[in-house]
């Protein structure tokens, strides 16, 4: 019998990579997509064309709708549920805090309730997409034991999701695990996250379709990993005998500025920084009159998480997981992919 997985958030960056991975591992994959007035399945269209209605099935759903969740879980009776569905943009969470809490905090609770109250008896494993954003400005390196001090409505909602997952594991003996993932990027990353915003702008600059990019806080430091590596870790967590919580990170941290420098390096431009604060600019080191990077207050957040750097020694020891792709390789690949897409 093939294993069955149910993925909430299958149309997102991680969901689309996880669906591919699980199909390769011989699972039947059920994905939940939201109703949208425009197409939101571009990341999974190729999977659907190849495996649609054979080993890949799509259903309409929403993690803000309890009855919908219950009936999907009861109908599909999966072996594993991955909850990747979320309003996942930190800055947007300051503008839509209530919706963010509904989807990101109550969403996992609704799924856990569906598993707990299932009429047909089945031991379903549950994965919750927790995040390094929960640590806020707690000192690095952040581990499974670091204090959670979220700085945004998003981080705060995710703390609820994290704790309710642990709570249902302890109270009802559910197999419920948290992956506490640090930032992870790749060619499928959403356009408004800083990595993809930078690489797609650099690609447009290279093809003379854009002149410069405007960013917010250039000095924030992130532990940036590769999305494919991180999805491998999710799968490993669900193959364990016991549920647990794991930090997934590279252990290295770079500023947004460094990301910018590497992205421009991929098109053979060396960036030199001048000025400070909102007046800081990034220009061509060969031709300082040519400005490529500007700063605007529009992209700053009411609160910032300044320095994320994780330690994944637990995942290394218990899951045998370690990151494979190097940061500079990932940045270069993203730029090259964006150039290729623009040329199509």
Among all residues, which ones are annotated catalytic? 131, 133, 154
Contact set with ligand NAP (CB under 6 A):
8-9, 11-15, 34, 36, 40, 62-64, 84-88, 103, 129, 131, 181, 183-184, 190
Phi (first) and psi of residue 56, to 5 degrees: -135, 120
Rounded to an integer, what distance in angstroms lies between the CA atom of residue 276 and that of residue 286? 20
> How far is Cα of residue 169 from the mean position of the Cα atoms in its chain?
23
Q: Smaller CB distance to ligand G4F: residue 55 or 152?
A: 152
Residue 11 or 228 having the CB closest to ligand NAP: 11
CB 76 to ligand G4F: min, Å: 26
For position 193 contacting ligand G4F by CB under 6 A, the verdict is yes
Residue 90 binding target from ligand G4F, ligand NAP, none, CB below 5 to 8 Å by type: ligand G4F
Instruction: Report in angstroms how near the CB of residue 17 gets to ligand G4F at its nearest.
Output: 14
The C-alpha atoms of residue 34 and residue 287 are separated, in whole angstroms, by 47
- How far is residue 166's CA from residue 225's CA, in Å, rounded to a whole number? 25
Residues in the chain: 344
CB of 162 to ligand NAP, least distance (A): 11
Distance of alpha carbon 47 from alpha carbon 63, whole angstroms: 23
Q: List the x/- string, 116-135, binding to ligand G4F by CB under 6 A.
A: ---------------xxx--
Q: Does 197 bind ligand G4F (CB under 6 A)?
A: yes
Q: Which two tokens stand for residue 207?
A: 């093809």
- Quick check: 158 and 208 in contact, CB under 8 A? no
Task: Work out what residue 299 binds among ligand NAP, ligand G4F, none; the CB cut-off runs from 5 to 8 Å by kind.
Answer: ligand G4F
Q: Which two tokens stand for residue 105?
A: 């905090």
By a kind-dependent CB cut-off of 5 to 8 A, residue 103 interacts, out of ligand NAP, ligand G4F, none, with ligand NAP
Could you tell which of ligand NAP, ligand G4F, none binds residue 12, using a CB distance below 5 to 8 A set by kind? ligand NAP
38-46, 88-96, 241-249, 262-270 -> range binding ligand G4F (CB under 6 A): 88-96
Report what 113 binds from ligand NAP, ligand G4F, none; CB cut-off 5-8 Å by kind. Answer: none
| N-to-C CA span, the chain | 41
Binding test (CB under 6 A) with ligand G4F, winner from 55, 88, 100, 177? 88
Q: Which residues contact 80 (CB under 8 A, 6 or more apart)?
A: 3, 4, 5, 6, 124, 125, 126, 127, 238
Note whether 220 binds ligand G4F by CB under 6 A. Answer: yes
44 in contact with ligand G4F (CB under 6 A): no
- Contacts (CB under 6 A) with ligand G4F, residues 254-313: 256, 299, 301, 304, 308
192 binds ligand G4F (CB under 6 A): yes
Residue nearest to ligand NAP (CB): 12
- Which residues make up the interface to ligand G4F (CB under 6 A)? 88, 90-91, 131-133, 182-183, 192-195, 197, 215-217, 220, 222, 256, 299, 301, 304, 308
């Amino acid at each position: 019998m093939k294993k069955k997985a149910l993925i909430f958030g299958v149309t997102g960056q991680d969901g689309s990579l996880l669906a591919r991975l699980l199909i390769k591992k011989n699972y039947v994959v059920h994905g939940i997509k939201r109703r949208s007035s425009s197409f939101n399945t571009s990341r999974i269209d190729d999977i659907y064309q190849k495996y649609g209605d054979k080993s890949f099935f799509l259903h309409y759903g929403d993690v803000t709708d309890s009855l919908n969740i219950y009936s999907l879980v009861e109908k599909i009776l999966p072996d594993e549920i991955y909850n990747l569905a979320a309003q996942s943009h930190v800055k947007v969470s300051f503008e839509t805090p209530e919706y963010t809490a509904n989807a990101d905090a109550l969403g996992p609770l609704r799924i856990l309730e569906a598993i707990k109250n299932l009429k047909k008896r089945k031991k379903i494993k549950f994965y919750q997409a927790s995040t390094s954003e929960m640590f806020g400005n707690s000192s690095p390196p952040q581990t499974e034991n670091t204090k959670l001090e979220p700085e945004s409505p998003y981080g705060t909602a995710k703390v609820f999701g994290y704790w309710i997952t642990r709570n249902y594991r302890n109270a009802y003996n559910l197999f419920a695990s948290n992956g506490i993932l640090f930032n992870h990027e790749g060619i499928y990353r959403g356009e408004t996250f800083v990595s993809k915003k930078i690489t797609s702008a650099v690609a447009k600059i290279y093809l003379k379709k854009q002149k410069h990019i405007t960013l917010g806080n250039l000095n924030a430091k992130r532990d940036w990993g590769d999305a494919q590596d991180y999805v491998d870790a999710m799968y490993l967590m669900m193959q364990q005998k016991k549920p647990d919580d794991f930090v997934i990170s590279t252990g290295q941290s770079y500023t947004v500025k460094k990301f910018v420098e590497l992205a421009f390096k991929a098109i053979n431009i060396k960036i030199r920084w001048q000025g400070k604060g909102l007046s800081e600019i990034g220009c061509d080191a060969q031709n300082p009159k040519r400005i490529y990077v500007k700063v605007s207050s529009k992209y700053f957040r009411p609160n910032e998480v300044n320095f994320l750097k994780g330690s994944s020694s637990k995942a290394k020891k218990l899951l045998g997981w370690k990151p494979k792709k190097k940061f500079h390789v990932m940045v270069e690949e993203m730029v090259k992919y964006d150039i290729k897409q623009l040329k199509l």
